[in-house]
Structure 1
Amino acid sequence: MSEFFGSVWWLIVSLGVLVTFHEFGHYWVARRCGVKVLRFSIGFGKALWTRRGRDGVEYVIAAIPLGGYVKMLDEREGEVPPADIPRAFNRQSVWKRIAIVAAGPIANLMLCVGLFWAMFVIGRPDFAPVVGQATGLAASAGLSHGDTVLAVDDRATPTWSEAQLALIPAALDHRDIALKIRPYGRTDEVVRTLRLSKLPEHFDERRAVEVTGLTPRHALMPTVVGRVAPDTPAWGVLAEGDRITAIDGEPIESFDDIRPAVQKLGQRGGSAMVEVQRNGDRLAFELAPARMRAADGSYYWGLGLASTAPAEPSKDAVLRYGPVAAIPAAFRETAHQASELVAMIGRAFSGRVSVQNTVAGPITIARAANAYAQHGAAWYLSMLALLSLSLGILNLLPIPILDGGHLLYYLIELVKGSPVSERVMAAGQYIGLALIAGLMGLAFYNDIVNNLVR
């Protein structure tokens, strides 16, 4: 399946699941509160499939899969037969109306817990939280190659993704954090303080982990020789497939380490031993770098080596719990991610992070859904859980036409003892439509800039 069709498919599946659960929350509670439901629609626009149930509800799947709705009997939307007036939504007590409206976001929160539980039980394959390279602030904090990150602040990090997700908000807030580390080759644990308060005031938020100076082990380019240029120092000495392990006694962890090591050797003058692994054997060759000319006309010291095409590294860690242990873990993860999402919304409104990197449109969601699905069921479930959580929390924002806006009206009604006037509600509808239209426009703009322009 091509990336385009795969993205479209997984977008439809994801939104279908999330919207169905959200609307079912409204539907289920409305029925339990004695409200007559007229229509349960997944999607907007022209109906693609319609069926009327024995309960009289019209079930619809519509053409535009970007939402859905539950239509209930309401005197404000048309004439209601006298026998059905007690079943009209507007005739219910304020507490029943609050329960019906809040049921949609709550259903998404419950779905989030269930999806995280399933993810933990299946087990999400990942990379071990091992440092490949430490520079800048990470090096100043005392981190080095081979260190294992056990926890960031008080959050355990059994995988690199967990460490990364804990590092990002701290970097965005320029907040110093404590890292619990198991140093390379040791069994004890030490605490290092990463001084993120020293980060530049403005940096590319998409590189929040990279600017800390931490590079994970799995991101390092392997030190395997892909090509040897003719008439260079390495020609006839090193061969394709050789894995370089050291130059002049200095360990080489990444192909990116080779050039500075050779530069240093060239500036010093003379030759040095280049250690390699070839077909399981450890070999050493004496080589002296030569002065070479780059494509831009500058000169550098080199051996004439090129790297292999980077391969997808193998996952070497799994985030997994047993079925029972996964229950509290799912609740903890939902609570943690909810707090992080609320904090990110606060950063966006305060201007501390760019809305270009926080408001995603359907193109971004579709591509992410497809990418996560390609990594396996557990990864897709984790993404779907975060989307469900986002949908639930965003719907609780006090914006008219969203669930949170209706809840705000009902809270005002509880305080003043009477419903909000229709004039105020109409004004709120216009404001809400303008805000939602603005958010949708921003989301589509971000989609174009982030996916089509860059």
Structure 2
Amino acid sequence: MPDIVWSVAGFIVAISVLVCFHEFGHYWVARTLGVKVLRFSLGFGTPFKTFVARDGVEWSIAPLPIGGYVKMLDEREGPVAPHERHLAFNNQSLAKRAAIVAAGPVFNFMLAIALYWLVFVIGTEGLKPLIAQPPAGSVAASAGLQAGDEIVAVDGEVVQTWAVLGTDLIERVLDGGNLPLTVQSKGGVPREVSLDVSKVRVDPEVLFDDLGLSPYEPMAPPVLTQILKGSPAEAAGLQEGDRVLSLDGAAINSPSQLVSWVRAHPGAIAEIEIDRGGERSKRRVVLETTQTEGKAYGRLGSGVATPPDLWQDLRAERRLDSLAAIPAAAEQTWRMSWLTLRMLGRMVIGDVSVKNVSGPIQIAQVAGDSARVGLVSFLSFMAIVSVSLGVLNLLPVPVLDGGHLLLFAIEGVKGRPLSERAMAASQYLGFAFIGTLMVLAFYNDIMRLI
């Protein structure tokens, strides 16, 4: 299946489920509290499918799957018959209106817990948190960490895979100070190591570079895959299955070494030594130069891999029984929610680059990639996005659920709603914020594609 089909299908499925849950939260609580619901729409635009239920609620599907809405009876949006005034949203108590508005984000968090529960019960596979040789001068190198060391615990909390370790490290770097690790060398006894993370940048783009931590790779010549037409690799006569042994005399012992060498030599004329079917040969390759954010990088024009059996001893699995998975899923949802909020705060003060903001294009790509990997990967992706939707919708920005809750809080303090003029002004500000955020997200998406 083509990549674009995976991306579009994954995006539509994920967003449809997440939006449905969010809006169903508003719908269910509104109906439970006695508010009349007129329409439940999945997507925006002119509906292409509409169904009117026996209770009079209009269910519709619209062509733009980037959101949805629940329309309730409200005197501010149209005339309401006298006998139905008690069913209108605007005539409900402050507590009921707040509950209806908050239900959307709450249902997103509930969905995230359910998704994480499934992930933990099914089980997740990943790489053991073994590290590659830290670069000289890095925080990890200064602490004495070596290639092949396994990080078995962070501040006393056991870690089983690199994915778990990555989240733990980001959280602890945000705290600053010293980071205690429990490390074990192959065949050795665990030892305690402390990393000074006070000067480590919290931006995920550079955080792991500053720490000097990256996954360990088995020592094995990389194997070329997917030779692109018109690429330097094709011009040099390279073929899929060729094992790269060296570049300009420098031994290449892993895919990352090959990638790093090529990227560091834009436009270079290099001698590449390969093994093809047991026969060694040398070829001349002229690397291309590509530009990314103003920096020049080399390009060979091929994929790279290692024999899959080399990774068997580095795999780890995390699986919980159905009962143990409940508190674990709730804790994971809370941790990801708090981490998302903290990263947004650091983005506001400039510690984290706004380049980390992703839009529909990037989300679709990640959705497609996770769907191709498998069910657990796709469920994990949906859980993360559901958490993000819950957190973002609770931000105190007019037009978002959090903005409505803020206005309700002001109403509670003042004893009356804001004036129509103030409400309109807040709406304009909210739309301006959302519009600016969407432009930034699309810009970042396009720049990543370029």
| Shared fold (TM-score, shorter chain, > 0.5) | yes
Distance 2:40 2:219 in 1: 52
Among residues 372, 375, 390, which one is paired with 2:373 in the alignment? Answer: 375
Per the alignment, residue 228 of structure 2 pairs with none
- Stretch of structure 1 that moved more, 109-118 or 162-171: 162-171
2:221 and 2:306 in contact (8 A); partners too: no
Per the alignment, residue 118 of structure 2 pairs with 118
The alignment partner of 2:305 has SS state of: coil
CA deviation after TM superposition for structure 1 residue 169, in Å: 4.7
Question: What residue identity is the alignment partner of 2:207?
Answer: A
Matches within 5 A, 1:41-120: 41-120=41-120
1:105 and 1:391 in contact (8 A); partners too: yes
Per the alignment, residue 6 of structure 2 pairs with 6
CA deviation after TM superposition for structure 1 residue 375, in Å: 1.6
- Stretch of structure 1 that moved more, 60-69 or 167-176: 167-176
CA deviation after TM superposition for structure 1 residue 217, in Å: 1.6
Relative to structure 1, is the Cα distance of residues 308 and 402 closer, same or farther in structure 2, using a 3 angstrom cutoff?
Answer: closer
CA deviation after TM superposition for structure 1 residue 420, in Å: 1.7
Distance 2:165 2:385 in 1: 20
The alignment partner of 1:217 has SS state of: coil
1:172 and 1:208 in contact (8 A); partners too: no
Per the alignment, residue 208 of structure 1 pairs with 207
CA deviation after TM superposition for structure 1 residue 396, in Å: 0.5
Give the number of the structure whose alpha-carbon radius of gyration is greater. 1
TM-score (norm 1): 0.79
The alignment partner of 1:197 has SS state of: coil
Distance 1:319 1:4 in 2: 31
CA deviation after TM superposition for structure 1 residue 243, in Å: 9.6
Distance 2:223 2:90 in 1: 73
Q: Deviations over 1:32-70 (max 9, x none)?
A: 111000000000001121000011000001010010000
1:120 and 1:319 in contact (8 A); partners too: yes
CA deviation after TM superposition for structure 1 residue 167, in Å: 2.3
Structure 1 position 195 matched with structure 2 position 208: no
Distance 1:185 1:344 in 2: 38
Distance 1:436 1:256 in 2: 39
Question: What residue identity is the alignment partner of 1:60?
Answer: S
Per the alignment, residue 266 of structure 2 pairs with none
2:222 and 2:306 in contact (8 A); partners too: no
The alignment partner of 1:215 has SS state of: coil
The alignment partner of 2:317 has SS state of: strand
Relative to structure 1, is the Cα distance of residues 308 and 6 closer, same or farther in structure 2, using a 3 angstrom cutoff?
Answer: closer
Question: What residue identity is the alignment partner of 1:326?
Answer: A
Paired residues in the alignment total 387
CA deviation after TM superposition for structure 1 residue 104, in Å: 0.4
Distance 1:256 1:392 in 2: 37
RMSD over aligned Cα, in angstroms? 3.0
Question: What residue identity is the alignment partner of 1:196?
Answer: V
Relative to structure 1, is the Cα distance of residues 10 and 257 closer, same or farther in structure 2, using a 3 angstrom cutoff?
Answer: closer
Per the alignment, residue 149 of structure 1 pairs with 151
Q: Deviations over 1:399-444 (max 9, x none)?
A: 1111011111111111111122211111111111111111111111
Q: Deviations over 1:114-150 (max 9, x none)?
A: 0000000111111111123223321221111221111
Per the alignment, residue 182 of structure 1 pairs with 184
Structure 1 position 339 matched with structure 2 position 341: no
The alignment partner of 1:41 has SS state of: strand
Q: Deviations over 1:81-108 (max 9, x none)?
A: 1111110001101110001000000000
Distance 1:308 1:444 in 2: 28
Distance 1:308 1:37 in 2: 53
1:116 and 1:385 in contact (8 A); partners too: yes
Relative to structure 1, is the Cα distance of residues 72 and 221 closer, same or farther in structure 2, using a 3 angstrom cutoff?
Answer: farther
Per the alignment, residue 439 of structure 1 pairs with 437
Per the alignment, residue 394 of structure 1 pairs with 392
The alignment partner of 2:417 has SS state of: coil
TM-score (norm 2): 0.79
CA deviation after TM superposition for structure 1 residue 385, in Å: 0.5
The alignment partner of 2:437 has SS state of: helix
2:112 and 2:387 in contact (8 A); partners too: yes
- Stretch of structure 1 that moved more, 175-184 or 121-130: 175-184
Structure 2 residue runs without a partner (length 5+): 225-241, 247-251, 259-277, 279-283, 288-301
Relative to structure 1, is the Cα distance of residues 242 and 67 closer, same or farther in structure 2, using a 3 angstrom cutoff?
Answer: closer
**Identity across the alignment (%):** 48
Distance 1:370 1:255 in 2: 24
1:50 and 1:60 in contact (8 A); partners too: yes
Per the alignment, residue 415 of structure 2 pairs with 417
